Structure 1
Amino acid sequence: MANITAKDVADLRAKTNAGIMECKKALVDAGGDMEKAIKLLRERGLVAQAKKESRIAADGLVSIRKEGDVAAMIEVNTETDFVAKNDIFRAYVDNLLGIIIEKRPADVAELLTLPYPESDFTVETKLQDLILVIKEKITIRRFVIVEGITSTYTHGMGAIGVIVKFDADKNVAERPEFEEFAKNIALQVCAYPVAYLDRDSVPADVLEEEKTILMTQIKNDPANLKKPPQVIEKMVLGRLGKFFENNCLLEQAYVKDDALKVSQYVEATARELGGSIKVTGFWRYEKGEGIQKREDNFADEVAKLTGQQ
């Protein structure tokens, strides 16, 4: 049996960030061979990950990085917010953003195959090691890369992230007043999430479905039975205005002055700064958005454990 020293364990732990006892066991099982021990820890990381697949990672972190005219945003999910605050986890996420900006992967699948900085790992094998250390399911869910004039906003230590893209004259975009304006638009997107930029962005099938619903509502109202078709049509168009207000960024009331629409705030700022400004796109990530969270019933769990169920 190989003589495993405390230094061996410390060296393996420094290379893998695995727990002390896991490192010692891996070295014993590998007969003291450091490389074999690292491989064993990775393999056991895969086993640990497989056991966690049935768990739900609905918490986590949304993080953003800007370098020059490129902005990247990523959502990485964990099971608990405790892990999302872990420095090792947050450093991993920050490194992912650096990789995304440098390598421009097309999707998460490609990102996972890329080399992880200052190591022999890929993004995926480093993730497996992280799971081994943290002992929670961790999932890279999505990311986006945006080039051009952008403003970003992060809310609540990574609960929500926003990137807004603009077209603007160079002399306008470089002014501090523009930076404040752009930040206000990002705040708007964070506070009042919508699906579309403007009326023209609403897909034709979505618009037709909404018109059909509104038409049915109006026709089913006894007060409208005797109204001619052209009047009904005008009523539908009037109510569509409310739909656009609720679903299009530029049609919304501006968060800091509800007497203005967002589009009017954009126009007013452009006039004030003496140039052209357009909002051309936005991206909003909210951690765990759309993921079904598990709700455990403690009483049922106790009953199962005591054989009463």
Structure 2
Amino acid sequence: MAVTASLVKELRELTGAGMLDCKKALEATDGDVKAAQDWLREKGIASAQKKQGRIAAEGLSSVVVDGNRAVVVELNSETDFVAKNEMFLELVKTVGNSIVEQNPADLDAALALEVNGKTLGDSVVDATATIGEKITLRRFTVVEKQDDEQFGSYVHMGGKISALVVVKGGDAELAKDMAMQVASMNPQYTSREDVPQDVIDHERGIQIEIVNNDPSLASKPEKVIAGIIEGRISKSLQDISLLDQIFFKDGSSKVSQILKAANASVVTFVRFAVGEGIEKREENFAEEVAKAAQI
């Protein structure tokens, strides 16, 4: 029986296996979809589908720079152990290199990129089947710079946090320092002027509530209370604004002062912390061991 594209698509939807693996399975079973499912199971490939419901909140992030283009990527796994697996590490490199070279528009386009005869999506599914954990390409950000600008990058703890900064002026050391600042201090915005008004209003509401519930401030004049509130808002904005943060290397100067001294400025930055924003499943280790003993 001829192996058609529709058969490959059907088998892929049933098993979650890669397109090339589905084609091989159908060829090996003369186009019999049911037998092809068994073939994939026997090869350990179809098991990838069963892992799609699991939570993948571990893994690695990475920065790849290629000329005036760079990318920050995050590839997730279920456990931290897999993040040290050679196949996983190689997949992180492949994903980063492919994206920075081909510059896909979004995640779907990235997963459709052809690399070594298969798509990145198929490579991720294959890794899931081979490694035995759910693997996902969660996100990426491509950044372009001008010829008179430079990239600074920093990867912390082997990829648990990755930071990329575009700096105009200064030198390579300053650019890397800015990336380290972003990685360690986690600013949300470049400057205080970039903070949206709704974020400021939200912070003001929090500080007003705190002050109203502080009995030690009950007898203070309204002008004093207003000053306290604005002072706390200012401190909060300092914490989330890169230029207002204290420079991590000396503990006293503001980042804006360091940049001014070098006649430099930060154009943009990206920071990925692996698993941020993902609700991790809480596991009871003793219960897991007990369950395993019953299998």
TM-score band w.r.t. shorter chain? 0.7 to 0.9
| Partner of residue 76, structure 2 | 77
Q: After the TM superposition, which of the residue ranges 40-49 and 147-156 deviates more from structure 2? A: 40-49
CA pair 261-44 structure 1, distance change in 2 beyond 3 A: same
| Partner of residue 244, structure 1 | 237
CA pair 136-213 structure 1, distance change in 2 beyond 3 A: closer
| Partner of residue 293, structure 1 | 280
Amino acid at match of 2:83: A
Amino acid at match of 1:259: S
| Partner of residue 282, structure 1 | 269
- How far the C-alpha of 1:141 sits from its partner, in A, is 0.3
| Partner of residue 200, structure 1 | 193
Asked whether the 8 Å contact 2:155–2:162 carries over to 1, the reply is: yes
- How far the C-alpha of 1:306 sits from its partner, in A, is 8.1
Report matched runs for 1:266-277 at 5 Å.
266-270=259-263, 277=264
User: 1:260 is paired with a residue of what secondary structure?
Assistant: coil
Are 1:215 and 2:190 matched, yes or no? no
State the distance in 1 between where 2:134 and 2:194 align.
37
User: 2:253 is paired with a residue of what secondary structure?
Assistant: strand
| Partner of residue 159, structure 1 | 160
Q: After the TM superposition, which of the residue ranges 182-191 and 207-216 deviates more from structure 2? A: 207-216
State the distance in 1 between where 2:269 and 2:99 align.
19
- TM-score normalised by the chain length of structure 2: 0.78
| Partner of residue 225, structure 2 | 232
| Partner of residue 60, structure 1 | 59
| Partner of residue 191, structure 1 | 184
After superposition, the CA RMSD in angstroms is: 3.2
Asked whether the 8 Å contact 2:192–2:241 carries over to 1, the reply is: yes
Amino acid at match of 2:271: R
User: 1:146 is paired with a residue of what secondary structure?
Assistant: strand
| Partner of residue 181, structure 1 | 174
User: Mind listing any 5+ residue stretches in structure 2 that lack a counterpart?
Assistant: 1-20
State the distance in 2 between where 1:163 and 1:297 align.
37
- How far the C-alpha of 1:243 sits from its partner, in A, is 0.8
State the distance in 1 between where 2:73 and 2:152 align.
15
CA pair 306-68 structure 1, distance change in 2 beyond 3 A: closer
Q: After the TM superposition, which of the residue ranges 144-153 and 213-222 deviates more from structure 2? A: 213-222
User: Deviation string for 1:16-57 (max 9, x for gaps)?
Assistant: xxxxxx9xxx699648xxxx98x9549976631221123221
- How far the C-alpha of 1:194 sits from its partner, in A, is 2.5
State the distance in 2 between where 1:105 and 1:43 align.
35
Asked whether the 8 Å contact 2:75–2:92 carries over to 1, the reply is: yes
State the distance in 2 between where 1:302 and 1:280 align.
50
State the distance in 2 between where 1:43 and 1:282 align.
46
What fraction of aligned residue pairs are identical, expressed as a percent? 40
CA pair 71-306 structure 1, distance change in 2 beyond 3 A: closer
- How far the C-alpha of 1:65 sits from its partner, in A, is 0.8
Amino acid at match of 2:46: V
Asked whether the 8 Å contact 1:45–1:131 carries over to 2, the reply is: no
Residue of structure 1 aligned with 2:131, choices 118, 130, 134: 134
Asked whether the 8 Å contact 1:42–1:128 carries over to 2, the reply is: no
User: Who wins on radius of gyration, i.e. which is larger?
Assistant: 1
User: 1:253 is paired with a residue of what secondary structure?
Assistant: coil
State the distance in 2 between where 1:66 and 1:87 align.
22
State the distance in 2 between where 1:144 and 1:43 align.
38
Amino acid at match of 1:138: I
State the distance in 1 between where 2:280 and 2:215 align.
43
Asked whether the 8 Å contact 1:79–1:137 carries over to 2, the reply is: yes
After TM superposition, the runs of 4+ consecutive aligned structure 1 residues lying more than 6 A away are 42-46
